[in-house]
Homo-oligomer: A and B are copies of this chain.
Amino acid sequence: MFKTLAVVGATGAVGRIMVQLLEKSPITFEQIKFLASARSAGKTIEFRGEKHTVQELRPEAFDDVQLAVSSTPDEVAKEFIPEAVKRGCVVVDESAAWRMDPNVPLVIPEVNPEAAFNHKGIIASPNCSTTQMVVALKPLHDFGRVRRVVVSTYQAASGAGLGGTKDLIEGTRAYLEERPYRYTTFAHPLAFNLIPQIGSPRPNGYTSEEMKMVLETRKIMGDESIQICATCVRVPVANSHSESILVETEKKISVEKARELFSSFPGIVVIDNLDAKQYPLPLDCSGRDEVFIGRIREDISSPNGITFWCVSDNLRKGAATNAVQIVELLLRGHP
Q: Taking beta carbons and an 8 Å cutoff, which residues of A are in contact with B?
A: 148-150, 152, 154, 168-169, 172-173, 176, 187-189, 192-197, 201, 204-207, 214, 227-229, 231, 233, 235-238, 242, 244, 246, 255, 274-275, 277, 279-283, 294-302, 305, 307, 309
Q: Which residues of B contact A300 (CB under 8 A)?
A: 204, 206, 214, 227-229
- The residue in A188, A193, A204 that gathers the most chain B C-beta atoms within 10 A of its C-beta is A193
- Which residue of the partner chain, among B188, B279, B282, B297, contacts A277 with CB atoms under 8 Å? B188
- Which residue of the partner chain, among B173, B206, B297, contacts A297 with CB atoms under 8 Å? B206
B188 touching A281 by the CB < 8 A rule?
yes
Tell me how many chains of this kind the complex includes.
2
CA distance A229 to B307 in the complex (A): 9
Question: Residue of B at shortest CB range from A187?
Answer: B277
- Which residue of the partner chain, among B172, B188, B205, B282, contacts A295 with CB atoms under 8 Å? B205
Q: Which are the 8 A-B pairs with shortest beta-carbon distances?
A: A205-B297, A152-B152, A227-B301, A152-B244, A229-B301, A231-B244, A201-B274, A193-B283
Smallest beta-carbon distance A144→chain B, Å: 17
Q: Which residues of B contact A238 (CB under 8 A)?
A: 192
Smallest beta-carbon distance A10→chain B, Å: 26
Smallest beta-carbon distance A169→chain B, Å: 7
CA distance A280 to B196 in the complex (A): 8
Q: Which residues of B contact A148 (CB under 8 A)?
A: 301-302
Smallest beta-carbon distance A309→chain B, Å: 5
- The residue in A255, A279, A280 that gathers the most chain B C-beta atoms within 10 A of its C-beta is A279
Smallest beta-carbon distance A286→chain B, Å: 10
- Pairs A–B under 8 Å by Cβ, sample size 26: A148-B301, A150-B150, A152-B231, A154-B233, A172-B176, A188-B283, A193-B237, A193-B281, A193-B282, A194-B235, A194-B237, A194-B242, A195-B281, A196-B242, A196-B244, A196-B294, A201-B275, A204-B300, A205-B295, A205-B296, A205-B297, A206-B300, A229-B300, A229-B307, A231-B244, A235-B235
- Given the known interface contacts A172-B176, A188-B277, A205-B274, the answer about A233 and B237 at a Cβ–Cβ threshold of 8 Å is no
Contacts A150-B301, A196-B280, A229-B300 known; 17 new A-B pairs at CB < 8 A: A148-B301, A152-B244, A173-B176, A189-B281, A189-B283, A192-B236, A192-B282, A193-B237, A193-B283, A194-B235, A194-B242, A196-B242, A196-B244, A205-B274, A206-B300, A229-B301, A229-B302
